[in-house]
Amino acid sequence: MECKLAVSLMHDFLDDDLSKEQRVMLKEHTLTCPDCRMQFKELEQTDMLLYSLHYSTPSASDELTKRILSALPVHKKQQRWVTWVKRHPAATAAALFLVVMLFSTINVWNQDNQLMVHGNNLDQVIIEGDTVILPEGRTIAGDLTIENGKAQIFGVVEGNLTVIDGSLYKASTAHISGQVKNVDRALDWIWYKITNLVSDVAYR
């Protein structure tokens, strides 16, 4: 047997993976080869040292183990809404945007009580305090919008008439060719703004 083969068989011998015939051949070789005999002895001592270290490693007591585990921070279970937010970031962002816009719009609605009049040739109307009057015989060419005021229509509106957060009086002499809208609530006002915005974008 060559020394190279003997060295490879030494590892298998220590792992108890050699056949009976191979064991006999390795033993005969180590008896006749001083170098292989010395190398086998060193490998055997190293293997025994590793074995002793493995089984002599001290283990922690059950009490110590419990103390260590109890000292570790407890992993808090995430709430369902947090998990949903992480899984649906786009929907969450859209919902937050709508909530912010809703509260902002309602806040503006509650704070802005100033009279505002929108329309063409507004020189046809008369404003007395918070009352907007369109006298008989006068004409507004287009839409007329009145916010935070009272509308008294005696003349002609060639378009839509919208009164937001106010009151409307329409005389028998009045003529309105378009729709008449009386918006009294914040949500109706928001919807009115959205529909107007969509209409503006669609016709630009």
DSSP element (H, E) containing 118:
strand 116-119
Residue 22: how many CA atoms within 13 Å on its side-chain side?
14
pLDDT of the residue at 201: 46
Task: For residue 147, give Cα distances in angstroms to 34, 123, 151.
Answer: 112, 17, 9
Segments in the chain below pLDDT 50: 201-202, 204
End-to-end CA gap in the chain = 97
143 within 8 A of 178, measured Cβ to Cβ: yes
pLDDT tens digits, residue range 164-182? Answer: 888 899 999 999 999 998 8
pLDDT of the residue at 111: 52
pLDDT of the residue at 49: 74
Helix axes 20-32, 3-14, angle to 10 degrees: 130
